[in-house]
Structure 1
């Protein structure tokens, strides 16, 4: 079954450059190397509608797993294999696992 892991986060105040470097140059590749997750990509918020987001950055991971609860278990179990950074404001970070409910629709 396909799952998406969505991580909404922001840098620790004053550490924006380190946050971007750590996330893009190190963290995404380390997550892929230490889990069986399939892909990772970051996005920055540029516009919004209705409720204002508390976060400016999104990391999206594609994962294949039978049990959605195994997705975050695997991430936590391999945490010590990845370099951690104080440049991410972990207290304000949100992590969600969404499971597919139907096929992907694509423009013909």
Structure 2
């Protein structure tokens, strides 16, 4: 298996931040974690004083031998309505990173 990190930068529609956060945390993370190969997820918000262009970050850990198939399944579920995308999200930018070293813990 190859390790990847799926990084998603996003922002809510103006005035709908609470709705966006509720959907992302309580619906979307669970929907994404149902996709085989996505092993964990965590959300972050830009700390005070940082660039607020896309102030939210979701980081997903992925282990798969076929990243293309994983993205195909992600797209299929969104198109089929199996993974609802809230209209409270204004925009999102997704980048996948492939691990080039083992995880370092010490």
Q: Residues 18-52 of structure 1: CA distance to partner in whole angstroms, max 9, x if unpaired?
A: 0010001111011112x111111100110578xx4
Q: TM-score, normalised by structure 2?
A: 0.86
1:74 deviates by: 2.1
**Counterpart check, 1:15 vs 2:16:** yes
1:55 deviates by: 1.3
Structure 1 segment 35-74 matched on structure 2, within 5 A = 35-36=35-36, 37-46=38-47, 52=51, 54-74=53-73
Unpaired runs of at least 5, structure 2: none
Determine helix, strand or coil for the equivalent of 1:83: coil
Q: CA distance change for structure 1 residues 71 and 48 in 2, over 3 Å: closer, same or farther?
A: farther
Q: What is the aligned length?
A: 102
Residue 86 (structure 2) aligns with:
85
Aligned-pair RMSD on alpha carbons?
1.7
Considering fraction of residues, name the structure with more helix: 1
Residue 27 (structure 2) aligns with:
26
Unpaired runs of at least 5, structure 1: none
Determine helix, strand or coil for the equivalent of 1:81: coil
